[in-house]
Structure 1
């Protein structure tokens, strides 16, 4: 019987650490997500936290950070585009499409939402519409983004040859405001194969 006591004591300590009265670092929130307050007591921008999580491949946590940003800022075009992009990376293509369409309705000049909607449409094999969406993004961007130009080029090539992406290991670039880029393989399954 005495061999159970160390295990019971460890369980009690673990439960105490998880309880609401347990000690946490300042600004740790509920301890499950990225902090919502920095060391100075200022709120950390949920979009910034989400972008950093996206860059590190933590798409589910990024989506949660974007939802917190939505609660703080409302569903503006930045937040909608970010939520749509996180859903895209999670393979939730229909959700991503709906949210990104809402983003471009909110602001018809927001280039990242147009581009990322094009990526979703490519994933859904809606090539002609994706090509039109990439054209819109390219025109709004004045042709300055290499990622959007490459996405448009790949969409046009796929319209001419439907097997283009399989023959050339095609990658579409997912873009966000602020200059960061997230590369998106043509399917989430292809990522697991590498």
Structure 2
């Protein structure tokens, strides 16, 4: 997915699901690939199922927060990022940056125009994603 090949990643994760089952890691991976393809309606239930099945995995929570940011649901995104950050013991710069962005969007709703909501997903280590504002 780091190369932006979300369709190929989706195929790979689907094959893995056939052999390993729908683990939280596979749910998160398929959900994140759908997010990268802008299939938000397909990504959300997968990411929500992943955090339900493994509520202690910060990567799944972070990626759910990224999806919520894409949908403009900043208050819920901030809560999700706070949980991810706490689970990660504050060690992830990507999660911290995502949390800051969600809080800023909540505090200043005037700057939430569609043009300013265009972000790029940037893969970090361990499958976590960071939102980067497009220039």
Same fold (TM over 0.5): yes
What's the CA shift string for 1:31-75, capped at 9, x where partnerless? xxxxxxxxxxxxxxxxxxxxxxx1121111110100001011110
Q: Which has the higher contact order (CA 8 A, sep 6+)?
A: 2
List runs of 5+ in structure 1 lacking aligned partners.
1-53
Paired residue total:
133
Q: 1:153 aligns with which of 100, 124, 135?
A: 100
C-alpha spacing 1:171/1:56, structure 2 compared with 1 (3 Å) = closer
TM-score (norm 1): 0.61
Larger Rg: 1
1:104 aligned partner? 51
1:1-194 equivalent positions in 2, closer than 5 A: 54-162=1-109, 163=111, 173=122, 175=124, 177=126, 182-185=129-132
Q: Quick check: 1:81–1:103 contact (8 Å CA) kept in 2?
A: yes
- In the superposition, the TM-score normalised over structure 2's length comes to 0.86
Residues 112 and 181 from structure 1, CA distance in 2 versus in 1: closer, same or farther, beyond 3 angstroms? closer
Q: CA RMSD in A?
A: 2.5
